[in-house]
A and B are shown apart, each in its own frame.
Chain A
Amino acid sequence: MAKEKDILKKLERLKDNAQFAVPENYFEKLPGSIMERIKSEEASKQVEIKRPVIKLIRNQLAIAASFAALALLAYTAIKIIAPDKQSDHLPLDDIYASLEQEVHELDEVFMYDLVNTESLNNANTPELSEQDIIEYLMEEGADLDLSLTDF
């Protein structure tokens, strides 16, 4: 017990905090520094409140951007790995539909353009007279008025 009293008496030397110092006028300046910090925190909070929409959708925007980047990467990778294989994957139905549409577009004007092309004129075909052609067309029931005036 006496020892305990002795120890506590020794520790009394620390009771006045004299071993610790503080900067000059620290306590005089402290309330002002604290108020300054509070005001600056409140001002920055105000700025954040003005931009809540961006803050709210920031995560969604980031996710969307990630998906777009992934899609672009995948597309680029396919282009590099198999550049010619893309047409193989066209569905057959699409190919038939496309061909059918092209056949229907074969009208007289298209045929006229085809006959008039230089490559066909120079092609190695048997000699046909105008009479031969007219007879062929009459047999086929073609509209002679249109065809003959254009020739």
Chain B
Amino acid sequence: MTELLEPRAIGRDTVRRDGEAKVRGTATYAIETPVQHPAYVHPVQATVPLGRITGIDTSAAEAIEGVVAVLTHENAERLASTDDREFAVLQSDEVAFRGQVVAVVVAETSELARQGADAVEVTYAEQPHDSALRVDHPDLYKPEKINPSFETDTAEGDVAAAMATAHVTVEETYSTAMYHNNPLEMHATTALWDPSAEVPLTLWDSTQGVHPDRAAVCEVFGLEQEQVRVICPFVGGGFGSKGTPHAHVFLATMAARAVPGRPVKLGLTRQQMFSLVGYRTPTIQRMQLAADRTGRLQAIAIDVVEQTSRIKEFAEQTGVPTRMMYASPNRRTTHRLAALDVPVPSWMRAPGECPGMFGPEVAMDELAERLGIDPVELRIRNEPERDPETGKPWSSRNLVQCLREGAERFGWADRPPAGHREGAWLVGTGVASSVYPTMRQATSTARIRYEDGRYVAEIGAADLGTGAWTVLPQIAADALDVDEGDVEVRIGDTRYPIASVAGGSSGTNTWGSALTVAAREFRTKFGRSPADGDEVSGDVDQASKDDAHAAYAFGAQFVEVRVNVDTGELRVPRLYGVFGAGRIINPRTARSQLLGGMTMGLSMALHENSVWDTRLGQVANHDLAEYHVTVNADVGDMQAHWLDEHDPYVNVMGSKGIGEIGITGTAAAVVNAVHRATGIRIRDLPVTLDKVLTALP
């Protein structure tokens, strides 16, 4: 039990501190970094999905006036570490996936770099590739662990026996598509290698964590941390794709080292992002539910099949939410992977929970239908008293309250009957639960200094557009017991103390905890009247930590879907979410986060789909004209609400993470609403109009 900070700045609807600079266009992003006389880098990508480079002719590129250098596996520097094969750029003649970078051209302008890249002639010995995921892939294997370090499989009791004897069962297979993160700001790195400087390598990189970025670069190039500085004040979205560096960061560094003293800029194109910066694996989810006649679950099981790349494993933890969401005596989760000749999958907003709240939450709706029980009520009846996975009590679990408040706000009790028609539209309503674990990273340090009458806090944190610039000062102000205006927090630079990645919705929890430790130390050491220059650091590992409770944020999402009776076009006039996510630090940035997550969930439901061309081994629709994300016209009234939740166990702010929970469950709620409108149960995302056509009058 932790005594929570007295909220004064916390909870206030303060404006974004970085808002004005962004609106005025003065906030510089990585590619815009003002540097002297930069050169530009453009990658050449493999056009075969598997094979070897048999020849690479750079002479035409080098002959172009303005081309400074062409790097290939034949002339690029040998890296200190090639253990991570995604990072080991230009080290061999092997091509492991289509779109892999086989050369980079460095030139005086970005146009010349592109021209040079076009002029590089590469010949390949192509080998037969395998890039098609299927549930019966012969090479499915069981990974050692799933992201980041969960058990791959879990089992309790006897699911098969429960399925055989239960009053009602659901046994269905669901699938989610391949998704690409597609932040608005395309991945970019500006790099300077100046061997004569005290810090020879400077990277201005669009990243979710300057320190993790630096650690990877040091490892790959054999540099000491003191030799590298990473700077990133602003990020135009990442959604996990900037959570770890990808090939371009190492390519930019390599290019910079090839032209010492001259800065280089590498900005990926949107099309290149579809093979070089990670994506969410497609998932196939076989669900089993068994229930007694009152709707109490007797068994819940999910068997997941998904893919990874042959050169680097990423095992999405899709089955993890099934382990803790509902009470059931018999339970099973498994994960099997196919390692394919495909680009490397990675984190994308709520890895695990996002796809993993699709199959189970549609299956719950199917169960409710078979039992004739309201789907809100069915979920309430299966509320576990303790975490079914660990047996621990919940730090706070307000799923039932979220469902009830959401139902009230939405008018669930008075919802129209199945198949209801208004004019040319069939109307359906649906619900699903949301969940996301409350995580705190083990490493982060904040430094607080009293400077010119203000408190300056420094920590190498990242603001992806999420609000860190704004909420960290709120936390520091309350921790120091001063006005928010007396606090400045500086982030986004490895010159500041180490900070964890902005991922797993853990940033505010982790960095905020470090700030509160530093503030406490500061007051202990210097009292309330510090001298100019007084300075102290605090580590997150000194913050009170509770291991006795299972900590999660919960939520419920309610959707109204309209399906056109003539064309099957789908519209979502209403999408409401209610969340129990601890204390909300800033309602303005929190609402954006929750609505953004819900929008991305809606996008997953209706639109997003990286169409994998199994013949070519690449995403066919690799730009934003063809890879559709939801637009304003698709949706009407979207609302995010939250409970006034008091959780004394998570941290002294009382806050849980809110960056990812919004995307979980949304797609299931949409599918459930489409079923109520049309009678069609769509188990494979996205829900497109062709899938409902046959059900229309």
Question: A and B: partners?
Answer: no
Q: Give B residues with C-beta under 8 Å from A.
A: none
Q: Give A residues with C-beta under 8 Å from B.
A: none
